Amino acid sequence: MYKLLKTLLSSALLLGLFVQVNANEMYVFVSNTELKSKGREIAKLFLGVPVHVVKDDGKNVKVTVKGYIDGLNLYSTEKKKLLIATLFKGFKATKKSENEVELSGYIEKGSLTKESAEVWEEHEEFYYEMCTQCHAAPKIPHHSMTEWEALFEPMKGFAKLDAEESEYLLRYIKSNALNGLVKTNH
Ligand code: HEC
């Protein structure tokens, strides 16, 4: 009895811990979501970008977004493989380390989700439709963004994708790649 209680208690604790660790991370669910700074400057966030929730007052949440900046563009990695935000003039990024910066501001809560998989449902469907005609769907997190750029090049011809479809799919693939936006255990 005591042992059972102990097991239950520790799993409850673990669960609590797990929820807490993840509670502060959310993902942009709507393309071009506006991040408004205190001074009302605007940055636009791309789909699936992870944000760290600092404060939640119901309708709006205060968040931070980390990345690597080049002019008015914010990228997810130092090698600038994936654009995650564009800043309007005046939006100030805070320097975090040598090259990494942080954006801070407010977002409407409705444009965020806790489940990154939810963000990519439509993309995933299109991926399966286009990329399983000749072979099984390749596991996206098995390759880095750079590897995917090379792998994707001939395949977009094979799948007869137009420019817009290619961009749509490649953004999905990169976001979910090994070093993409979605953190997985692969
Ligand atoms: C018309 C058939 C066809 C379609 C459609 C197609 N592929 Fe392929 N794919 C191939 C063939 C054939 C190969 C193996 C030969 C090669 O590497 O060129 C391959 C190989 C690959 C590989 C390399 C596997 C490895 O581990 O080396 C990846 C990754 C891949 N495809 C991804 C995709 C993606 C993503 C799409 C959708 C955009 C796609 N493919 C659509 C025919 C296709």
Place of tokens 């449902």: 121
Strands 25-28 and 60-70: unpaired
Whether residues 106 and 136 share a domain: the answer is no
Question: Is 163 part of a structural domain of the chain?
Answer: yes
Which residues of the chain register pLDDT less than 50?
Answer: 17-21, 185-186
Instruction: Output the pLDDT for position 2.
Output: 61
First to last CA, the chain: 38
* Ligand 1 atom closest to the CA of 152, numbered from 1: 35
Q: Are residues 100 and 34 in the same domain?
A: yes
Pocket test for ligand 1, best of 131, 146, 156, 168 (most atoms within 8 A of CB): 131
146 part of a folded domain? yes
User: Are 88 and 36 members of one domain?
Assistant: yes
Same domain membership, residue 135 and residue 98: no
The answer to whether residues 72 and 30 belong to one domain is yes
Ligand 1 midpoint to CA 122 (Å): 21
Q: Is the CB of 138 under 6 A from ligand 1?
A: yes
pTM of the model as a whole: 0.87
Q: Single out the residue in 69, 84, 110 at which a domain terminates.
A: 110
Structure tokens at 12: 């409850």
Q: Which residue range is the domain that position 53 belongs to?
A: 25-110
pLDDT at 20: 46
Alpha-carbon distance 32 to 150, whole Å? Answer: 27
Instruction: Judge if the beta carbon of residue 49 lies within 6 A of ligand 1.
Output: no
CA of 147 to the centre of ligand 1 (A): 13
The amino acid at residue 158 is F
Non-local CB neighbours of 3 within 8 Å, separated by 6+ positions: none
* pLDDT value for 18: 47
Whether residues 90 and 44 share a domain: the answer is: yes
In a domain, 60, yes or no: yes
At 57-96, the pLDDT tens digits run 888 999 999 999 999 999 999 999 999 999 999 999 999 9
Best of 125, 140, 155 for a ligand 1 pocket test (most atoms within 8 Å of beta carbon): 155
Domain count, the chain: 2
Mark whether 59 and 85 lie in a shared domain: yes
